[in-house]
Amino acid sequence: MDYVYGPGRNHLFVPGPVNIPEQVLRAMNRNNEDYRSPAIPAMTKTLLEDVKSIFKTTTGTPFLIPTTGTGAWESALTNTLSPGDRIVSFLIGQFSLLWIDQQQRLNFNVDVVESEWGRGADLDILESKLASDTAHTIKAICIVHNETATGVTNNLATVRKIIDAYQHPALLLVDGVSSICALDFRMDEWGIDVALTGSQKALSLPTGLGIVCASPKALEASKSAKSVRVFFDWNDYLKFYKLGTYWPYTPSIQLLYGLRAALDLIFEEGLDDVILRHKRLGTATRLAVEAWGLKNCTQKEEWYSDTVTAVVVPPNIESSEIVKRAWKRYNLSLGLGLNKVAGKVFRIGHLGHLNELQLLGCLAGVEMILKDVGYPVKLGSGVAAASAYLQNNIPLIPSRI
Amino acid sequence: MDYVYGPGRNHLFVPGPVNIPEQVLRAMNRNNEDYRSPAIPAMTKTLLEDVKSIFKTTTGTPFLIPTTGTGAWESALTNTLSPGDRIVSFLIGQFSLLWIDQQQRLNFNVDVVESEWGRGADLDILESKLASDTAHTIKAICIVHNETATGVTNNLATVRKIIDAYQHPALLLVDGVSSICALDFRMDEWGIDVALTGSQKALSLPTGLGIVCASPKALEASKSAKSVRVFFDWNDYLKFYKLGTYWPYTPSIQLLYGLRAALDLIFEEGLDDVILRHKRLGTATRLAVEAWGLKNCTQKEEWYSDTVTAVVVPPNIESSEIVKRAWKRYNLSLGLGLNKVAGKVFRIGHLGHLNELQLLGCLAGVEMILKDVGYPVKLGSGVAAASAYLQNNIPLIPSRI
Amino acid sequence: MDYVYGPGRNHLFVPGPVNIPEQVLRAMNRNNEDYRSPAIPAMTKTLLEDVKSIFKTTTGTPFLIPTTGTGAWESALTNTLSPGDRIVSFLIGQFSLLWIDQQQRLNFNVDVVESEWGRGADLDILESKLASDTAHTIKAICIVHNETATGVTNNLATVRKIIDAYQHPALLLVDGVSSICALDFRMDEWGIDVALTGSQKALSLPTGLGIVCASPKALEASKSAKSVRVFFDWNDYLKFYKLGTYWPYTPSIQLLYGLRAALDLIFEEGLDDVILRHKRLGTATRLAVEAWGLKNCTQKEEWYSDTVTAVVVPPNIESSEIVKRAWKRYNLSLGLGLNKVAGKVFRIGHLGHLNELQLLGCLAGVEMILKDVGYPVKLGSGVAAASAYLQNNIPLIPSRI
Amino acid sequence: MDYVYGPGRNHLFVPGPVNIPEQVLRAMNRNNEDYRSPAIPAMTKTLLEDVKSIFKTTTGTPFLIPTTGTGAWESALTNTLSPGDRIVSFLIGQFSLLWIDQQQRLNFNVDVVESEWGRGADLDILESKLASDTAHTIKAICIVHNETATGVTNNLATVRKIIDAYQHPALLLVDGVSSICALDFRMDEWGIDVALTGSQKALSLPTGLGIVCASPKALEASKSAKSVRVFFDWNDYLKFYKLGTYWPYTPSIQLLYGLRAALDLIFEEGLDDVILRHKRLGTATRLAVEAWGLKNCTQKEEWYSDTVTAVVVPPNIESSEIVKRAWKRYNLSLGLGLNKVAGKVFRIGHLGHLNELQLLGCLAGVEMILKDVGYPVKLGSGVAAASAYLQNNIPLIPSRI
């Protein structure tokens, strides 16, 4: 059953799927149940209420869709827009590219705003587009909060500020797949109309839930949106929400209990402390990269991502060799460079159920691999830089004080 | 974490989701993995090969889609058809109704052939429609193999015979959700173009995989089908099949290992013996119903379902009371009557990882409940009838001889 | 990994080890932990406090020993007695026999009071022995509360009454292996000095914990008891209890969490309701046996056991054939007849995490097996008799009302 | 259920209990079974055969006893010796001390050979004792292969050489608790008469199995040994071995399946490669300690332990502060200094299911903790030293080449 056994734990540092806490594995270790019994609706009700807090929304309506992030994207678009609608969409890496591809294939009129990979969304162009769009032809702005391919975090507060400056009515649709539950994310405050994530990212569950949250304005838009949809139709959900049975089709019982456990862990740690932990992990990783004399794919500090770091390798090194070697020799799973940055970067995912010593083990591994592939790294240098920061910043574990 | 604890095992006799074998629970009890490592493609390759056998196909191409049966339906339709295409579709119960609703919302031109609930698809009408369709305006025939709401199994061999008699080129799309891995199902022999099931049915997994299998003709159709699709697009899968990486987006690692274990169990028992076991369970259930003096919702023996039995209650009894009482007093989960048969039938699901003594425990429970709600059943009568048949027909367990 | 796979659930009706609730399996599904961290002592403290309630004691001192029931016996004896001490011990079946064998091998002077197998302890002889023992040479009375081999429950209240009538100072040591958590058991009220059980019995855990509870008088006795002991020595535990670290050697982390979950389930159901449930299961089983025209090995109603029923088969049938056939054909595990009753009885264990429909499935299976082996049973008769009783007596599940 | 939740994985570096592989957790995630069915004896038979290989014996007889290491000690002693028998026993740390305490309490005449803690067994004294014991009054030599409290490995080959030099018939009883499956151990070649380990050590299982292996000479001795024993009596096992049912009392089904999985993993990696991995982990740890400028409690290289390193802290630091801080701030579990070295050493366990990056994460943590408590360590120094060695020595994972 284990195709490629290696001794000891696998060190999982891809930017998703991420490590699942034992508490969640336990919660999911169960037989199926009749989802039409009173038990599942009762649990679903509290899940829907509690899941709002990870979006920082009180007015949003969440949907727990048995799908992946790609499906969550499709849900966000087809429920709020009609074919031919004009969208402004930012292309800054592989995942925003894939979303744009989907937008185009769903027949929207996509106004692509491209940045160099490693840079954030070009908000000046957004501003100029909104400024000139007095006719309000732009129906939606689509932005990836955190581009997982390059480790770039966009500034959503600024996006909202720009939209507001022009009092533009466009919907703001945000891919929070590698940000929600890990980065500062404020759906209500930032006026996000649809936010979405996947269970296998910072929530630290298996793949299988696309979690989508719609603002009242997005729900209103869904009433007139003409995109064809059935499986992803919010209205089917809303109909069952009203009935109190909640599910238009069979949910995964295991993922519901898993989500319950995952939320409980986040609440126990405190969402803000979870975010601070990711800040520590991101900072430590960047300090190590700097100590190794390597460059972060992310070009400016304002875009640094606390969930994933794409490390640029020297031209004489093929980054996929690093990833292969990590797996073959160290039982370490790193992220490949994708598309435009294939061969040029490797990625360290540092999100989800993860702590500092796990990260330091990974960083120690990366150092050895760099040496393996001929990069003249000083062993221990990255760990030293990261440790110096962490040793000053790790808090005591509250339950153990 | 357990909302409504009751002592002892829950007796899960809804027609899905069904009982998960311990072997599958064990296989799924694992951390996430990097799905881009060599291990997951290697496993996926064997899964795709092995899963064909449950469809009895050698020429089909399977897709393991992170979705439910509803999504699998959408995948079957949108990949093979274009908006406006004429479909002949049989309405014989709640699930065929829901599929037809989806077909209509996806903008197909649906020619609904309705039967009384409790009867199978009206194949005479199919014949007359095909006979008169010399222009081949019918692009697809959509049929549910086993209607889960009424316990009716349609005769797919006859459907194929009719289509062939008129040499009609329409695609044959089959919902095998509550049949595949439990009833006799022969994709190649019966010329089925798309067959589909969901993981939580006879495969006895959690919900989360829509398993769809396409014939070469269906694949060919997908090249010109104009229905808008992205998440469900087979071509995205095929692209990654060619690359040998297999996944256009993140699969559930746990469900892949679970599917591996589920297939291994089916192969160990033998698919034909699995089907025979379901025949025994179905027959035993029907004998009990008869002994209780109650009627099967299914009107003729030719349509009897070996995976679910819908039992008609006398007019003075409300069938949902039976389901409620089963759960509240006996820790037994039965299926409700749905839509037209709401209040009039309750359903006993007898599919998936289940053996004869489990079923007899359920039947004993139903007898007590019938008495609870005022029906003058002779306690033990159904069990006696079922046992008399089973005692003559249960084989020895091969591994224990 | 599964040596003898059979489809569906195994029906586990041996009188231990018994079915483990999913809640307990979940709780135990965890990595090891440092048992010297503050977490484990904190948990142990509450476990020791809570476990007292299953003995119905407030003054007893419990020990959670990493051993089996056999080890728990040895712990009870060696901590309270010295070699050569006179013990009165009742031989009524295989397990009391094994305990007596242990007592003799540990060099006690055992006064064996034998009954016919199927009868309870002969308390008249106890009375006469105590009456004549004015010199108080009897140091302990050893009695099995429920003899698992014959399904005989002794009356401990009467034992206590007799001891008190003669104001005899002998210690009362009770094997509660197949009674505690299932039958009415009152350590304090009945003046029991050492009571013990094993985790795999009515607590519904895996094997591995011998749970022993000592009265203040037993603890006092342990100070002067001269039996050689180290692993089983209570004093080593008491030393660590005082230190607040609790463990003289490494406990099973998994069993501690499992015990926590098991106790929580018992408390949720209510210990008295757990006992009532066993009373229902026992009564139903006996009614079925009677309906089959078979005899209970237990000769009188006063000794009927609510945790195990030993069923006497007709002389022409070999009972082990029934047990073999149950396993080979029905995936049903029944208990063999042991020693004097080998070949003559088979046993149905009905204890632990079990409900009525599970039992009825088992009884339906037994009927078919009886027919298989040539006994002219009327199929359905036992189930009918059991159901008639149960349908009148099963309460609603409190959490589901 | 989790008393002291901390984010991310617990880093378990106590010298037992150790990390359990997911494969083993999966194997153990199962309901109870009837241990008298044909399945369990069949599995037990192969386990007993296979477990011999971890002792490197072909002539030994293994016992899988439901107990801990303390119980395994008692089993070794009481089955081979009689009260009053003279034993030579080496006191070199807390665990040898505890074993000696047990030997004395079991009424053997113990000739204690004490070394300074941090030094190995004084084999010169052994030699002189054997030389002078021409009357063969010494019945057994008891030695701990690896003293877990100080990280000292004794040279068993030399012990055997000495015994043979004097052709002394004394039994050689070896505690291999923290060595077997991790250090080079050769029962047959070194003429060991009883070897023992516990499941929660290098086998990486939960606590609960004391695994004892007896040479033919030890089995012979057990026939005349007069120590009182029942639970631990090998003869009870041997009786059931002959019957082919194997178990004198109820085993833990879960631990048997867990042991099966654990052995399979060891065989897949290869026992010799497992031992080499421990050599790497031990060497790396010692290099880090040296780089930190700290001393190994083990005084000479010949005694260095590859499973646990006891690190001596400077006089101004209390080592238990390090252990507390590790747990409270870094979710890292280290071993305390015990008894004579309490407060003076902390211990890093590096045994069982563990790989190099896990260790480096631990070492990085220890560096930060050392700084926390005021020791002027250069952060990264230990990791650098360990990495430099590991990067040259880690092999590719065979299944991934």
CATH code of D373's domain: 3.90.1150.10
Specify whether the CB–CB gap between B384 and B391 falls below 8 A: no
pLDDT at A363: 98
Round to whole Å and give the CA distance between A123 and A133.
15
Lookup: tokens for D133: 């014991």
Contacts of B207 in chain A (CB under 8 A): 32, 66, 250-253
Lookup: tokens for C207: 């094997």
Q: B376 and chain C: CB distance < 8 Å anywhere?
A: no
CB atoms D25 and B29 under 8 Å: yes
Specify whether the CB–CB gap between C303 and C153 falls below 8 A: yes
**Which of A26, A38, A400 shows the shortest C-beta gap to C26?**
A26
Q: B331 and chain C: CB distance < 8 Å anywhere?
A: yes
- Residue identified by tokens 């899963």 is B51
A130 and A258 part of one domain: yes
The alpha helices in D56-93, defined as continuous H runs, are 69-80
SS3 state at B70: helix
Does residue A371 lie in a domain region?
A: yes
Contacts of C394 in chain B (CB under 8 A): 329-330, 368
B361 and B242 part of one domain: no
Which CATH number characterizes residue C148's domain?
3.40.640.10
Contacts of A31 in chain C (CB under 8 A): 22
Domain boundary among B244, B267, B290: B267
CB atoms C7 and B332 under 8 Å: no
| CA distances, A55 to each of A187, B142, C21 (Å) | 6, 41, 36
Q: D50 and chain C: CB distance < 8 Å anywhere?
A: no
SS3 state at A145: coil
Lookup: tokens for A211: 């979690």
pLDDT at D401: 85
Does residue B228 lie in a domain region?
A: yes
Chain centroid to Cα D275, Å, comes to: 13
Lookup: tokens for C155: 């009356």
Specify whether the CB–CB gap between A132 and A168 falls below 8 A: no
CB atoms C355 and B330 under 8 Å: yes
Single out the residue of C352, C43, C231 nearest to residue D66, CA to CA. Answer: C231
Neighbours of B393 (CB within 10 A): 13
**Which of B67, B257, B333 shows the shortest C-beta gap to A67?**
B67
pLDDT greater than 80 at residue C1: no
Single out the residue of B54, B85, B52 nearest to residue B171, CA to CA. Answer: B85
Does residue C291 lie in a domain region?
A: yes
Please give the span between the terminal C-alpha atoms of chain D, in angstroms, as a whole number. 41
Round to whole Å and give the CA distance between B70 and B99.
8
- Residue identified by tokens 């692993």 is C231
- Name the residue in chain C with its Cα closest to that of A32: C22
**B234 min Cα distance to partner chain C (Å):** 34
Residue C193 carries which DSSP code? S
B220 and B329 part of one domain: no
Specify whether the CB–CB gap between C123 and C156 falls below 8 A: no
SS3 state at A138: strand
pLDDT at D1: 46
SS3 state at A345: strand
D116 and D206 part of one domain: yes
pLDDT greater than 70 at residue A3: no
Does residue C5 lie in a domain region?
A: no
Neighbours of D252 (CB within 10 A): 29
10-residue mean pLDDT profile of chain D (401 residues): values are 80 98 98 96 97 98 98 98 98 98 98 98 98 98 98 98 98 98 98 98 98 98 98 98 96 98 96 98 98 98 98 97 97 98 98 98 98 98 98 95 85
A54 and A200 part of one domain: yes
% of chain C exceeding 90 in pLDDT: 98
Lookup: tokens for A198: 């996947």
Contacts of A265 in chain D (CB under 8 A): 5, 7
Single out the residue of D286, D281, D288 nearest to residue D382, CA to CA. Answer: D288
Round to whole Å and give the CA distance between A401 and A79.
48
Q: B63 and chain A: CB distance < 8 Å anywhere?
A: no
CB atoms D251 and C14 under 8 Å: no
**Do β-strands B171-175 and D345-349 pair in parallel, antiparallel, or remain unpaired?**
unpaired
Contacts of A24 in chain C (CB under 8 A): none
D189 and D334 part of one domain: no
User: What residues have CB less than 8 Å from C35, skipping those under 6 apart?
Assistant: C247, C250, C251, C253, D17
The alpha helices in A191-270, defined as continuous H runs, are 216-224, 234-243, 253-269
Domain boundary among C236, C267, C298: C267
- Name the residue in chain A with its Cα closest to that of B257: A1
CB atoms C357 and B274 under 8 Å: no
CB atoms C29 and A25 under 8 Å: yes
Does residue C294 lie in a domain region?
A: yes
- Name the residue in chain A with its Cα closest to that of C401: A38
Single out the residue of C185, C234, C174, C182 nearest to residue C203, CA to CA. Answer: C182
Residue B400 carries which DSSP code? G
pLDDT at A5: 84
Round to whole Å and give the CA distance between A310 and A304.
10
CB atoms B26 and D22 under 8 Å: no
Round to whole Å and give the CA distance between D255 and D249.
14
CB atoms A5 and D399 under 8 Å: yes
Q: D38 and chain B: CB distance < 8 Å anywhere?
A: yes
Helix pair angle (A253-269, A39-55), 10° resolution: 40
| CA distances, D139 to each of A92, D135, D142 (Å) | 78, 11, 10
**D323 min Cα distance to partner chain B (Å):** 28
At C157-172, the pLDDT tens digits run 999 999 999 999 999 9
% of chain C exceeding 70 in pLDDT: 99
Q: C41 and chain D: CB distance < 8 Å anywhere?
A: no
Q: D9 and chain A: CB distance < 8 Å anywhere?
A: yes
Q: B326 and chain C: CB distance < 8 Å anywhere?
A: no
pLDDT greater than 70 at residue C5: yes
At D162-219, the pLDDT tens digits run 999 999 999 999 999 999 999 999 999 999 999 999 999 999 999 999 999 999 999 9
Which amino acid is located at A296 in the chain? N
| CA distances, C80 to each of C98, C174, D373 (Å) | 19, 13, 48
CB atoms A400 and D332 under 8 Å: no
Q: D400 and chain B: CB distance < 8 Å anywhere?
A: yes
C49 and C33 part of one domain: yes
C100 and C62 part of one domain: yes
Q: D26 and chain B: CB distance < 8 Å anywhere?
A: yes
Q: What burial class does residue A124 get, using C-beta atoms within 10 Å of its C-beta: 0-12 exposed, 13-18 middle, 19+ buried?
A: exposed
Specify whether the CB–CB gap between D70 and D95 falls below 8 A: no
Contacts of D362 in chain A (CB under 8 A): 357, 361
CB atoms C7 and B394 under 8 Å: no
Query: In the complex, which subunits touch A with 3 or more CB pairs below 8 angstroms?
Result: B, C, D
**Do β-strands B11-12 and B171-175 pair in parallel, antiparallel, or remain unpaired?**
unpaired
Query: In the complex, which subunits touch B with 3 or more CB pairs below 8 angstroms?
Result: A, C, D
Contacts of D38 in chain B (CB under 8 A): 400
| CA distances, B4 to each of A39, C86, D19, D52 (Å) | 6, 51, 34, 48
Lookup: tokens for D344: 């003076």
Lookup: tokens for C224: 């002067």
Neighbours of A244 (CB within 10 A): 11
| CA distances, A249 to each of B14, B201, B346 (Å) | 14, 13, 19
Specify whether the CB–CB gap between B347 and B335 falls below 8 A: yes
Which amino acid is located at C369 in the chain? I
Neighbours of D311 (CB within 10 A): 26
C191 and C94 part of one domain: yes
Q: C319 and chain D: CB distance < 8 Å anywhere?
A: no
User: What residues have CB less than 8 Å from D169, skipping those under 6 apart?
Assistant: D136
Domain that holds residue D366: 11-18+270-400
Which H/E stretch holds residue D375?
Answer: none
Q: What burial class does residue C358 get, using C-beta atoms within 10 Å of its C-beta: 0-12 exposed, 13-18 middle, 19+ buried?
A: buried
Domain boundary among A227, A244, A267: A267
pLDDT greater than 80 at residue C241: yes
C253 and C354 part of one domain: no
- Residue identified by tokens 């507060």 is A157
Does residue A5 lie in a domain region?
A: no
Round to whole Å and give the CA distance between D127 and D163.
8
C174 and C232 part of one domain: yes
Average pLDDT, chain C: 97
pLDDT greater than 50 at residue C199: yes
- Name the residue in chain D with its Cα closest to that of A288: D380
pLDDT band at A1 (very low <50, low <70, confident <90, very high): very low
CB atoms B3 and C399 under 8 Å: yes
**Do β-strands D11-12 and A295-296 pair in parallel, antiparallel, or remain unpaired?**
unpaired
Round to whole Å and give the CA distance between A54 and A61.
12
Please give the span between the terminal C-alpha atoms of chain B, in angstroms, as a whole number. 41
Q: B29 and chain D: CB distance < 8 Å anywhere?
A: yes
Q: C45 and chain A: CB distance < 8 Å anywhere?
A: no
Round to whole Å and give the CA distance between B235 and B223.
8
- Name the residue in chain A with its Cα closest to that of C23: A30
CB atoms D22 and B38 under 8 Å: no
Contacts of C397 in chain B (CB under 8 A): 4-7, 328-329, 331
User: What residues have CB less than 8 Å from B167, skipping those under 6 apart?
Assistant: none
Round to whole Å and give the CA distance between D117 and D115.
6
Neighbours of C132 (CB within 10 A): 11
Contacts of A356 in chain D (CB under 8 A): 8, 330, 365
Q: A380 and chain C: CB distance < 8 Å anywhere?
A: no
D347 is in an annotated binding site: yes
**Which of B39, B208, B233 shows the shortest C-beta gap to A3?**
B39
- Name the residue in chain A with its Cα closest to that of D325: A396
Round to whole Å and give the CA distance between B142 and D195.
69
**Which of B36, B200, B255 shows the shortest C-beta gap to A336?**
B36
- Residue identified by tokens 């027919």 is C371
Q: How many structural domains are present in chain D?
A: 2
Rg from Cα positions in chain B: 21
D227 and D302 part of one domain: no
Contacts of A19 in chain B (CB under 8 A): 31-32
Does residue A260 lie in a domain region?
A: yes
Which H/E stretch holds residue C221?
Answer: helix C216-224
Q: B381 and chain C: CB distance < 8 Å anywhere?
A: yes
User: What residues have CB less than 8 Å from D92, skipping those under 6 apart?
Assistant: D114, D115, D117, D119, D120, D121, D144, D147, D150, D152, D154
Which H/E stretch holds residue A311?
Answer: strand A308-312
CB atoms B7 and C355 under 8 Å: yes
Beta bridge partners of C141: C88, C172
pLDDT greater than 70 at residue C2: no
Round to whole Å and give the CA distance between C258 and C204.
9
Does residue B5 lie in a domain region?
A: no
The per-residue pLDDT string of chain B (401 residues; one tens digit each, 9 = 90 and over) reads 456 789 999 999 999 999 999 999 999 999 999 999 999 999 999 999 999 999 999 999 999 999 999 999 999 999 999 999 999 999 999 999 999 999 999 999 999 999 999 999 999 999 999 999 999 999 999 999 999 999 999 999 999 999 999 999 999 999 999 999 999 999 999 999 999 999 999 999 999 999 999 999 999 999 999 999 999 999 999 999 999 999 999 999 999 999 999 999 999 999 999 999 999 999 999 999 999 999 999 999 999 999 999 999 999 999 999 999 999 999 999 999 999 999 999 999 999 999 999 999 999 999 999 999 999 999 999 999 999 999 999 999 998 98
Beta bridge partners of C12: C333
Between chain A and chain C, the number of residue pairs with CB atoms below 8 A apart is 18
